[in-house]
Amino acid sequence: MLSIRVFGDNVLRKKATRIQSIDDDINNLINDMFLAMYSAEGIGLAAPQIGRSIRLFITDISPLVEDSKKEIFINPQIVEYGFEREDYEEGCLSLPTIREVVKRPSEIRLQWQDETGKEFDEWVDGYRARVIQHEYDHLEGKLFIDHISTLKRSLLKKTLKQITSGEIEVEMSEKFEL
């Protein structure tokens, strides 16, 4: 089982590198990432969150959005943002116990590949767009707290220090089977 890296780990602040080849190692990593994400009861997980600084993230928003499915995003690139922005409370497996309202564009145009190498170019909106932007930030070395005010961030200092010191950990449940 992969462990989820938390605030304070340098890999979370690095810009991830492009995946050159989608091979068995990448596909095995994807399967392991889904197991880790489900075990932590998450809806998205980026490779830097498990210590791999590569441009890959996964999502499964089906617990919250009807008719959605698990998705794999390899070498994603947000190429355009919509003009409307929406507030919504976010949390993150790498920032356990922290939840804050973040304003993000409600629509994005995303290009990416799936696990077979098939390329996609699509306008994405709603909750799916929010989750994709959150995970995409991880590939850029950003966390959702980077989108909140300096004042709000300063109020989180004690909690961030507890996360960094290991006093607060990511809760992982029993292993899941895919």
pLDDT tens digits, residue range 30-68?
A: 999 999 999 999 999 999 999 999 999 999 999 999 989
Known catalytic membership, residue 100: no
Banded pLDDT at 75 (limits 50, 70, 90): very high
Q: Helix, strand, coil: what percent of the chain each, to 5?
A: 30, 30, 40
Question: What does the alpha-carbon distance between residue 11 and residue 13 come to, in Å, rounded to a whole number?
Answer: 5
pLDDT tens digits, residue range 105-153?
A: 999 999 999 999 999 999 999 999 999 999 999 999 999 999 999 999 9
Query: pTM to 2 decimals?
Result: 0.95
CATH topology of domain 10-165: Peptide Deformylase (3.90.45)
The mean pLDDT of 62-79, rounded to a whole number, is: 95
Complete DSSP assignment for 101-162: EEEEESEEEEEEE-TT--EEEEEEEHHHHHHHHHHHHHHTT--GGGGS-HHHHHHTHHHHHH
Catalytic-labelled residue, pool 135, 140, 169, 174: 135
Banded pLDDT at 174 (limits 50, 70, 90): low
